């Protein structure tokens, strides 16, 4: 069994990070409270610090090396997600248009669902055409919480 993972406690619950060759390959909620498991490194510690800053409203852009693995279409979608600014949302249709296939809304949804690096690759910023919060691998409550953090900090910086 590989030991290239670490689990950290966060406001969302345990977060599992996997890495290879100095790059993050997975970030998601962990199904069990195995905090401290794995092999934390300076990389995973840095990612965790940046996540804590994000949760506290002190970070809008992540600066950690990522290694994404997926189909060409998934990679295009994930790149488009990285272009959604902090505090903003786009619809599945807008992302489909951004990747050159306006009819691919459902495929965009599936690519978002398979996003291996939650929060940093911000699939939580993708919403339904009517503004409703729809599907999120971490659950709608987590999606709402992440959007609320961003909305609150965006509103605070305007005033």
Catalytic annotation, residues: 123
The answer to whether the beta carbons of residues 40 and 76 sit under 8 Å apart is: no
Task: Round to whole Å and give the CA distance between 66 and 53.
Answer: 18
Residues 6+ apart with CB under 8 A from 88: 125
Residue 79 CB-half CA count within 13 A: 11
- How is residue 23 written in tokens? 């790059």
Q: Which helix (H) or strand (E) holds 49?
A: helix 42-55
Task: Round to whole Å and give the CA distance between 94 and 107.
Answer: 12
Q: Tokens 């993708």 label which residue?
A: 126
């Amino acid at each position: 069994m590989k030991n290239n993972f670490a689990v950290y406690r966060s406001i969302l619950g345990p977060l599992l990070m996997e890495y290879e060759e100095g790059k993050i390959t997975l970030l998601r909620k962990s199904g069990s409270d195995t905090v401290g498991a794995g092999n934390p490194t300076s990389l995973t510690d840095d990612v965790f610090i940046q996540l804590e800053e994000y949760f506290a409203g002190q970070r809008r852009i992540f600066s950690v090396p990522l290694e994404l693995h997926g189909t060409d279409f998934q990679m295009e979608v994930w790149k488009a997600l990285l272009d959604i600014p902090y505090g903003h949302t786009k619809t599945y249709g807008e992302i489909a248009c951004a990747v050159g296939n306006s009819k691919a809304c459902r495929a965009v949804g599936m690519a978002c669902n398979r996003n291996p690096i939650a929060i940093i690759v911000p699939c939580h910023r993708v919403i339904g055409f009517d503004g409703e919060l729809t599907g999120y691998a971490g659950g709608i409550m987590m999606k709402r919480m992440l959007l609320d953090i961003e909305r609150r900090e965006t509103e605070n910086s305007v005033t």
